[in-house]
Structure 1
Amino acid sequence: MGFLSSRRKKSRLAPELDDQDLGKLLKSLMATTKTGMIATTDLCVAQISRLLHQHQGDWDRRTHRMGVLADYLAETHLSRSWAAREPRNADALELHAWTQVARARRQGSLEEAAGVVDMCLRAAEIAPDDPTPWVILLEVARLEGWERSQVFGVWNEVLARDRWNREAYMSMLGYLSPEEAGSRVQVLDFVDSLGLRMPANVPCAATELTAQVFQYHCLIGRGGVEALVARNHWSQTMATQALDRVAHTWVQPGFLRHAKALADLNILAYALMAADRRRDAAAVFEVLGGVVTPWPWQVGGDPLTEFDQAHRRAAPGM
């Protein structure tokens, strides 16, 4: 990961994180995706296709780019038009399927679920080494409440192609949570099994810390006394160890190299501030350079406001 300057920069939401080529494409798409003109669609498709063909075989980078584009295009017709015009193009099928899932996450239900599944399976047939169709199917499985054996079947298909796919691990955390189809014990078992074999700087390195933040938010969400004492979560052994394992290594230049490294550093900064480890958090804020991700900051309110307030509290002398 190319670290940003340590000089204080204005905080900003940047879905592309430090992917400059993706950021340029998003700016280009901003003024053109909603016009509906055929020529504009052709131009956007050409730009998207060119970006997705960069870094062939870098599934981590591809998953990040596909997910960001899907979120951005979820309320447009561009991906549908591309998939209709090129039904044998795996990129087009995957992007359209993912935009449908992104829209479903916002609306609460997946329209044309069978069609989304079909697109994913067709893309998987066209590009058998690509984990992306299976990553999307994992989200479909959660939205549609598939049987547990089916969910784990899709999960294994992802791992067979991309062992440490961050998106898939985060999706499984959600699936195994008490809010979906699992329990706190199942989340802990999942994290423990991962820790036994996972290298320290793979794309899914934030799985354990994310699980701890989920638990912290669960306590806050219960309200009453539990919410008042939720901060005590970070003094418990498992939470403390999760922070200790990464607080000093993640900020080292070159240690984290995956596409969503800045997203993981946002999680780390948030958790360190929740644990009142301000000095450690200050070092993370410096590396972030003002790049903010909505989650987990949005749990407390406006993410930019929450980030800025936390950043100020972490400053020496505060």
Structure 2
Amino acid sequence: MAFLSSRRRRARVVLEFDDAALGRLLKSLQATASTGTIGTMDLFMAQVSRLLDQSRVDWDRRTHQLSVLAYHLSESHGPRAWAAREPRNTSALVLSAWAQLERGRSRGSLEDAAGIVDSCRRAAELAPEDPTPWVVLLGLSRLERRGQPEVFSLWNEVLTRDRWNREAHLSMLRYLGREEMGSRIQVLDFVEAVRARTPANAPCAATELTAQVLQYQSVLTRGGVEALLARHHWSHASAAQALDRAAHIWARPGFFHHAAALADLNLLAYALVAAERRGEARPVFEAINGMVAAWPWSVGGDPVSEFEKARIRSGAGV
């Protein structure tokens, strides 16, 4: 991961994090969409294809880029049109399926679940080594509240191709929560199994701390006395130990290399401030340098405002 200069930067939500090529593409797609010229579709396909071709051997980077593009283009006709014009292009098929999945998430229902499955199955046949079709199928099964045997089967397909896939780990974590199709015990078992086998700097290293933040936020959202005492969550042994492990090493320059490392640092900064460990949060905020991940900050309100309030409380950049 590339750390930026120590000069304080104005906070803003950044989808691409430190992927400069992806950031340039997002700006270009925005400009292209606003022109409405006849060659817009050809330009769209060329730009997106060029970026995804470059990350084809880096599954972590490819998963990140596809997830961001799918979210950014979820209301665009571009991904589906590209897949229709190039039905044997794996990137086009996966992006189209993922964009439809994101649209379904935002609207609360899917327009064409069978079409998403078909696109992913064709992509998997064309590129058997690529984990991203299986990541999308895992997300689809989670949205549709499918049974655990089917979901674990898809999870294993991802891990066979990309053992430390961050998107799949976080998707399974939420699926196994009691808000979806699991229980607190299943979350604990999953987190323990992941922590036991995962390198400290793997792309999915934040699974354990994510589970702790989700539990903390579930208490906050209940309101009343429980919310007032939510900070005590971080004094429990499991939460404190998870936070200790992350705080000691994550913000070190060069420790993380995965595409969503800045999202994990946002998570760490949030947890440290919530635990009132503000001095430890300061170098993490400095490493983030204003590049805000919408979650977990969005739970408290506007993510940029919440980030800035927490950064000020930590004393970073003042």
On the 8 A contact 2:73/2:79 being kept in 1, the answer is: yes
User: Quick check: 1:50 aligned with 2:50?
Assistant: yes
Match of 2:308 in 1: 308
Deviation at residue 35 of structure 1 after TM alignment: 5.4
Match of 1:4 in 2: 4
The count of aligned residue pairs is: 318
Match of 2:154 in 1: 154
Deviation at residue 235 of structure 1 after TM alignment: 0.7
Deviation at residue 38 of structure 1 after TM alignment: 4.1
- Is there any run of 5+ residues in structure 1 with no aligned partner, and where? none
Match of 2:210 in 1: 210
Residue type at the aligned position of 1:188: L
Match of 2:299 in 1: 299
Residue type at the aligned position of 2:101: V
On the 8 A contact 1:33/1:41 being kept in 2, the answer is: no
Q: 1:122 to 1:311 in 2, by over 3 A?
A: same
On the 8 A contact 1:33/1:76 being kept in 2, the answer is: no
Match of 2:73 in 1: 73
Q: Give, in whole Å, the separation in 2 of the partners of 1:166 and 1:159.
A: 10
Q: 1:317 to 1:303 in 2, by over 3 A?
A: closer
Deviation at residue 223 of structure 1 after TM alignment: 1.6
Q: Give, in whole Å, the separation in 1 of the partners of 2:305 and 2:223.
A: 22
Listed as ranges, the matches of 1:176-195 within 5 Å are 176-195=176-195
Match of 1:131 in 2: 131
Q: Give, in whole Å, the separation in 2 of the partners of 1:314 and 1:196.
A: 32
Residue type at the aligned position of 1:190: F
On the 8 A contact 2:286/2:316 being kept in 1, the answer is: no
- Is there any run of 5+ residues in structure 2 with no aligned partner, and where? none
Could you tell me the percent identity over the aligned residues?
62
Q: Give, in whole Å, the separation in 2 of the partners of 1:177 and 1:224.
A: 23
Residue type at the aligned position of 2:29: L
Deviation at residue 57 of structure 1 after TM alignment: 1.3
Tell me the secondary structure at the aligned position of residue 3 of structure 1. coil
Match of 1:282 in 2: 282
Q: Give, in whole Å, the separation in 1 of the partners of 2:153 and 2:34.
A: 38
Match of 1:260 in 2: 260
On the 8 A contact 1:219/1:226 being kept in 2, the answer is: yes
> For residues 164-193 of structure 1, what are the alpha-carbon distances to aligned partners after superposition, in whole Å with 9 as ceiling and x for unaligned?
000000000110000000011110110001
Tell me the secondary structure at the aligned position of residue 197 of structure 2. coil
> For residues 95-142 of structure 1, what are the alpha-carbon distances to aligned partners after superposition, in whole Å with 9 as ceiling and x for unaligned?
000000111111111111011001000000001000000000001001
Q: Give, in whole Å, the separation in 2 of the partners of 1:85 and 1:42.
A: 10
On the 8 A contact 1:278/1:314 being kept in 2, the answer is: yes
Deviation at residue 56 of structure 1 after TM alignment: 2.9
On the 8 A contact 1:173/1:187 being kept in 2, the answer is: yes
Q: Give, in whole Å, the separation in 2 of the partners of 1:117 and 1:251.
A: 39
On the 8 A contact 2:134/2:154 being kept in 1, the answer is: yes
Residue type at the aligned position of 1:24: R
Match of 2:198 in 1: 198
Q: What's the Cα RMSD here?
A: 1.3
Listed as ranges, the matches of 1:215-226 within 5 Å are 215-226=215-226
> For residues 152-174 of structure 1, what are the alpha-carbon distances to aligned partners after superposition, in whole Å with 9 as ceiling and x for unaligned?
00000000000000000000011
Listed as ranges, the matches of 1:155-170 within 5 Å are 155-170=155-170
On the 8 A contact 1:298/1:306 being kept in 2, the answer is: yes
* TM-score normalised over the length of structure 2: 0.98
Deviation at residue 317 of structure 1 after TM alignment: 11
Deviation at residue 248 of structure 1 after TM alignment: 2.1
Q: Give, in whole Å, the separation in 2 of the partners of 1:242 and 1:304.
A: 25
On the 8 A contact 1:174/1:180 being kept in 2, the answer is: yes
Q: Give, in whole Å, the separation in 2 of the partners of 1:35 and 1:103.
A: 23
* TM-score normalised over the length of structure 1: 0.98
Q: Give, in whole Å, the separation in 2 of the partners of 1:36 and 1:268.
A: 42
Deviation at residue 227 of structure 1 after TM alignment: 1.1
